[in-house]
C-alpha cells in the first residue's frame, strides 16, 4: 500500500476507496510528546483541507487536515486513552481516522514518500 503525503505533514494510505490518515514521523517529532488527540465523529463529511483532528503536545496544539474529501468511516479510539501512540508509531498504529474517499483523483496531487522526504529536507 503506497503512502502519500501533504505539505502539512499528513499521510494517507489507500485500501480500495478507504483511506487511513495520520501524521508523518517528521510531524510528531516537531510536536514532541503528544498528550491529547481529538478525532472526528464517524459519519462526518470532510472536504479536502478540512480539520480532521486536533493533536495537543507538551509544546503546542496542531490541527490535522483531511488530505482528500470523504466520509469518516472509522476513528482510532485507542488514541483517547493512549495519545502517545502518535509518537510511538505515527505512520502505523497512531493513525487518526479512515475516510471513504469521494474522489480518488485527489490523491494524484499529493507527494509520494521520496518527494515528501525531499520536501522535509528543504524545511531545515
DSSP 45-107: EE-TTSEEEEEEESS-EEEEE-SS-EEEEEE-THHHH-TTHHHH-TTTTT--EEEEES-GGGG
**Given a cut of 90, is residue 89 above it in pLDDT?**
yes
Burial of 43 (0-12, 13-18, 19+ CB in 10 A): exposed
Domains and CATH numbers, the chain: 3-102+111-119 (2.40.50.100)
Give the pLDDT score at 55: 97
Q: pLDDT tens across 95-110, in order?
A: 999 999 999 999 999 9
**Given a cut of 80, is residue 81 above it in pLDDT?**
yes
**Given a cut of 90, is residue 114 above it in pLDDT?**
yes
**Given a cut of 90, is residue 2 above it in pLDDT?**
no
Instruction: Tell me the mean pLDDT in the region 90-99.
Output: 98
Amino acid at each position: 500500500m503506497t503512502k502519500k503525503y501533504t505539505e502539512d505533514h499528513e499521510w494517507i494510505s489507500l485500501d480500495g476507496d478507504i483511506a487511513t490518515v495520520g501524521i508523518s514521523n517528521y510531524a510528531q517529532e516537531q510536536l514532541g510528546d503528544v498528550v491529547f488527540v481529538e478525532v472526528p465523529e464517524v459519519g462526518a463529511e470532510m472536504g479536502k483541507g478540512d480539520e480532521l483532528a486536533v493533536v495537543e503536545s507538551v509544546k503546542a496544539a496542531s490541527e490535522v487536515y483531511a488530505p482528500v474529501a470523504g466520509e469518516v468511516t472509522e476513528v482510532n479510539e485507542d488514541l483517547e486513552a493512549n495519545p502517545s501512540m502518535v509518537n510511538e508509531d505515527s505512520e502505523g498504529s497512531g493513525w487518526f481516522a479512515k475516510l471513504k474517499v469521494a474522489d480518488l483523483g485527489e490523491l494524484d496531487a499529493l507527494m509520494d514518500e521520496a518527494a515528501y522526504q525531499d520536501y522535509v529536507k528543504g524545511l531545515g
